[in-house]
Structure 1
Amino acid sequence: MADFAPIPRRRCRAPVRLLGLLLGLLLQPGHADDAAEANTKANYLYNFTKFVEWPAAADTLHICVVGSEAVVNILSDLASRDTKGRLLQIWSGVDDPHVCQILYVERTVAELPALMREVSGAPVLTVSDADGFAEQGGAVGFYREQGQVKLSVNPEAVRKAQLKINALLMEIARIVR
């Protein structure tokens, strides 16, 4: 009878740490303060770069933010961090939304419906805090519950954008159809 040695288990800690960071964002105390909300949204947008796969792996990821200078400023500070070995560029506003890998449009921006139509079917992760955004065809919606910013994800919109979202992110989001 042959002796079999147990195979050592390798643990991949990076996804667990990233999930911990996202959960930490979810569990932080809710604040009515706009700066705290902008910080939470900016951190989510940054972390989406680690949990979403685009069909064409570019050397540069573009996060375009329309309508929130506070989110742009916070993201600009995060841009120097590692994003899976890619350069991160933050744009305030957008002339051509097709250059964006992530397009965040603040709920107060009147052009939201037009921007959504323009990137329909393109590999752009659409994100907004507009009421019912994911339910109305956006990929990721921010919503508030018990004073906290949370996520809703529309898998059909993600699929139409030819994107893949990591299961760890899907576990912490409310799935909408």
Structure 2
Amino acid sequence: MPGKLVSAGLLLWGLLSSFGAAAADDMLNAKTKANYVFNFTKFVEWPALMNDTLHVCIVGAEPIVNFLSELASRDTKGHLLQIWSGIDDPQICQILYIGHDAPELQALIQQVRGNQILTVSDAEGFAGRGGCIGFYSENGQIKLEINPDAVRRAQLKVNALLMEIARIVR
């Protein structure tokens, strides 16, 4: 009987530790994505930006909101960052991050199409479906894919350095 109790205890510990590791990975991924989004403010130009404030709207990705809020006071090429969690009117955004499980993902892409809004998501194939920048995972790392046609439709300019590190999709 003691052998079974020890085995059950080890199994439970293994399950809990792997669950904890998965949660830690999710938080690390959210932090990485938030850092990317923050850095997009330095590598993307909004030609008709009316004031010094960049509005970053996040739909369906609360951990990213939390990490971005911590970064909002850092230098962003002279812009102030305003972080929004959820939105009623996406037209106020310069960056619109839509979480992969947000039910309104496709509707939001269509709603902002042609406006000067950088659309970003971690939804699979996002950039290929008309979004500007998509995140994907490769060998445990978060990577970027950029749709230059979507960026052009949004009337934005993406720095060549950002284009170099991304996979280009159409």
TM range (shorter): 0.7 to 0.9
Report the CA distance between 1:68 and its aligned residue: 1.2
Which of the pair has more CA radius of gyration?
2
Tell me the amino acid that sits aligned with residue 49 of structure 1: T
1:46 to 23, 35, 38: 38
Measure, in 2, the Cα distance between the counterparts of 1:68 and 1:135.
21
Q: Please list, as runs of the form range in 1=range in 2, the aligned pairs for 1:136-147 lying within 5 A after superposition.
A: 136-147=129-140
1:29-76 superposed Cα distances (whole Å, 9 cap, x missing partner):
xx8511000000000000000000012133100110001111000000
- Tell me the residue number matched to 1:78: 71
1:122 to 115, 135, 147: 115
Gapped runs of 5+ residues in structure 2? 1-20
For the residue of structure 2 that corresponds to 1:135, the secondary structure is: helix
Report the CA distance between 1:138 and its aligned residue: 0.6
Measure, in 2, the Cα distance between the counterparts of 1:98 and 1:150.
27
Q: Are 2:27 and 1:35 equivalent residues in the alignment?
A: yes
Tell me the amino acid that sits aligned with residue 147 of structure 1: G
- Tell me the residue number matched to 1:68: 61
Tell me the amino acid that sits aligned with residue 34 of structure 1: D
**Number of matched residues?**
147
- Tell me the residue number matched to 1:113: 106
Measure, in 2, the Cα distance between the counterparts of 1:96 and 1:34.
28
Q: Are 2:86 and 1:93 equivalent residues in the alignment?
A: yes
Measure, in 1, the Cα distance between the counterparts of 2:58 and 2:120.
9
1:101-158 superposed Cα distances (whole Å, 9 cap, x missing partner):
0000001001001111110100000001111000111100000000111000000000
Q: Are 2:112 and 1:134 equivalent residues in the alignment?
A: no
Measure, in 2, the Cα distance between the counterparts of 1:42 and 1:146.
20
RMSD: 1.0
Identical aligned residues as a percent: 68
Q: TM-score, normalised by structure 1?
A: 0.81
For the residue of structure 2 that corresponds to 1:157, the secondary structure is: helix
Measure, in 1, the Cα distance between the counterparts of 2:62 and 2:103.
16
Runs of 4+ in 1 over 3 A off after TM superposition: none
Measure, in 2, the Cα distance between the counterparts of 1:85 and 1:162.
21
For the residue of structure 2 that corresponds to 1:61, the secondary structure is: strand
Q: TM-score, normalised by structure 2?
A: 0.85
